[in-house]
């Protein structure tokens, strides 16, 4: 699928569409609930991610990051990984940059998640000391994706992996990404997707019944792993998402399915 298939008037332009964990009434309480949820699972987040995705998440981060290699290789490039959590997409960008040294920032509004990212970065750099040519390491910043502390037209690349779906207002998120992108800049949103047909039936069975049980068992908390399938169901399907990207002002909007469409990469150009 390469372009928006839905005409713009078909989707609501006024209704706020975004994450709404159970019991929240407005975008502000939704954002608070999302932050508390991720903070509560931060210590076990990586383990659960890999178990619940059968480690496919590693391939997705790598594939998405490689897509943007040419931008990362631009002299003086700046990249922002939004909703970076414990940093795996940020590290994938760093690896995809190879020998070049773009400035890479990981931003998240959960301090606990960022702390894990910083610990992992310290572990990686001490493990690679003496083996690799030194490259600029990612920097971490506590920031809200809907209100970024950066000037207009600042970044060549903005990415977000499995984070955008958690924003309390998707259209506001898209506008904020566009604001901080330089003309000719790109963004990539790697997100879960609910596929259609037989794959969708298996996916729903796993996501609604198996994943919440295993997630709650390992993490010791129920809420986040009941929220996860609900948030994927709530997230716009690709055609609607691309239409929203166009409305936000992106010149191009595409979606590339990954692994039978259970995830996919949205790309937009400013």
Indicate whether 85 belongs to the interface with ligand SAM (CB under 6 A).
yes
Nearest Cα neighbor of 261 from 239, 245, 246 is 239
Indicate whether 109 belongs to the interface with ligand SAM (CB under 6 A).
yes
Residues 123 and 217: their CA atoms lie apart, in Å, by 28
Residues 190 and 90: their CA atoms lie apart, in Å, by 12
Residues 66 and 49: their CA atoms lie apart, in Å, by 21
Nearest Cα neighbor of 262 from 41, 59, 19 is 59
Residues 81 and 138: their CA atoms lie apart, in Å, by 10
CB 240 within 8 A of CB 167: no
Residues 232 and 268: their CA atoms lie apart, in Å, by 21
> By CB under 6 A, which span of 93-101, 144-152, 177-185, 251-259 interacts with ligand SAM?
144-152
**Of 68, 140, 155, 162, the one binding ligand SAM by CB under 6 A:** 162
**Of 30, 31, 157, 232, the one binding ligand SAM by CB under 6 A:** 31
Indicate whether 34 belongs to the interface with ligand SAM (CB under 6 A).
yes
Instruction: Return the number of the residue (4 or 161) whose C-beta is nearest ligand SAM.
Output: 161
Binding pattern for the stretch 217-246 against ligand SAM, x by CB under 6 A and - elsewhere = ------------------------------
- How do beta strands 252-258 and 155-161 pair? unpaired
Indicate whether 17 belongs to the interface with ligand SAM (CB under 6 A).
no
Backbone angles phi, psi at 18, to 5 degrees: -170, -175
Indicate whether 38 belongs to the interface with ligand SAM (CB under 6 A).
yes
Indicate whether 146 belongs to the interface with ligand SAM (CB under 6 A).
yes
19 by DSSP, 3-state: which? coil
Residues 131 and 116: their CA atoms lie apart, in Å, by 24
Instruction: Return the number of the residue (8 or 222) whose C-beta is nearest ligand SAM.
Output: 222
Instruction: Return the number of the residue (221 or 239) whose C-beta is nearest ligand SAM.
Output: 221
Residues 136 and 118: their CA atoms lie apart, in Å, by 14
Instruction: Return the number of the residue (4 or 18) whose C-beta is nearest ligand SAM.
Output: 18
> By CB under 6 A, which span of 31-39, 64-72, 127-135, 180-188 interacts with ligand SAM?
31-39
Which residue number places its CB atom closest to ligand SAM?
85
**Of 84, 96, 157, 158, the one binding ligand SAM by CB under 6 A:** 84
Which residues here bind ligand SAM, judged by CB under 6 A? 31, 34-35, 38, 49, 83-85, 88-89, 108-110, 113, 144-146, 161-163, 166-167
């Amino acid at each position: 699928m390469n372009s928006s298939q839905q005409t713009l008037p078909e989707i609501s332009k006024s209704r706020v569409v975004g994450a709404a964990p159970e019991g929240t009434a407005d975008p502000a309480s939704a954002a608070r609930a999302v932050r508390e949820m991720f903070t509560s699972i931060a210590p076990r987040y990586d383990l659960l991610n890999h178990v619940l995705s059968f480690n496919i998440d590693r391939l997705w981060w790598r594939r998405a990051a490689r897509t943007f290699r040419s931008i990362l290789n631009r002299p003086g490039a700046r990249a922002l990984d939004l909703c970076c959590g414990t940093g795996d997409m940020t590290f994938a960008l760093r690896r995809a940059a190879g020998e070049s040294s773009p400035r890479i920032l990981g931003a998240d509004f959960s301090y606990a998640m960022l702390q894990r990212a910083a610990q992992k970065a310290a572990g990686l750099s001490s493990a690679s000391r003496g083996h690799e040519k030194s490259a600029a390491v990612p920097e971490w910043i506590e920031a809200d994706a809907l209100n970024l502390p950066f000037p207009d037209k600042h970044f060549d690349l903005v990415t977000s992996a499995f984070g955008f779906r958690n924003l309390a207002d998707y259209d506001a998120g898209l506008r904020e990404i566009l604001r901080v992108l330089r003309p000719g800049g790109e963004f990539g949103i790697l997100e879960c997707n609910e596929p259609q047909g037989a794959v969708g039936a298996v996916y729903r069975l796993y996501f609604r019944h198996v994943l919440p049980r295993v997630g709650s068992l390992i993490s010791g908390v129920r809420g986040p792993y009941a929220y996860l399938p609900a948030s994927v169901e709530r997230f716009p399907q690709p055609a609607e998402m691309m239409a929203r990207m166009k409305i936000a002002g992106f010149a191009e909007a595409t979606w590339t399915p990954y692994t039978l469409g259970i995830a996919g990469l949205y790309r937009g150009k400013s």
